[in-house]
Amino acid sequence: MERRLQSEEEAMKCIHCQGTMKRGKAPIHIDRDGCHVTIDNVPAWICEQCGEPLFEEQEVEAIQDIVKAVDEKCRLLRQSA
């Protein structure tokens, strides 16, 4: 499997600058209706040239779940104010 991962890394190119993508971790910042959340060290493909992260489906789904929870909690806070 390690050989396959190496091939994937060689094949992955950044959609912005065509730089080489390499596995790493990146932060993500979420600003929703006055609520601000930062998640550090999210697994991602990161462009070695421009630094742009690309998150895989599993990470995107987890981030979307967090955003939904933040939206719900912010809505509850606004209702109680």
14-63 confidence digits (pLDDT tens) = 999 999 999 999 999 998 878 889 999 999 999 999 999 999 999 999 99
Q: Give me the pLDDT at residue 7, please.
A: 58
pLDDT on residue 81: 65
Model confidence at 72: pLDDT above 70: yes
* Per-residue confidence (pLDDT) for residue 25, from 0 to 100: 98
CATH, residue 27: 3.10.20.860
Q: How far apart are CA 33 and CA 39, in angstroms?
A: 17
- What is the identity of the amino acid at 8? E
Choice between 42 and 6, residue whose per-residue pLDDT is larger: 42
Is residue 14 a contact partner of residue 53, using CB atoms and an 8 Å limit?
no
Domain count, the chain: 1
Q: Is 52 exposed, middle or buried (CB count within 10 Å of its CB: 0-12, 13-18, 19+)?
A: middle
**Domain span at 15:** 2-80
Q: How far is CA 9 from the centre of its chain?
A: 18
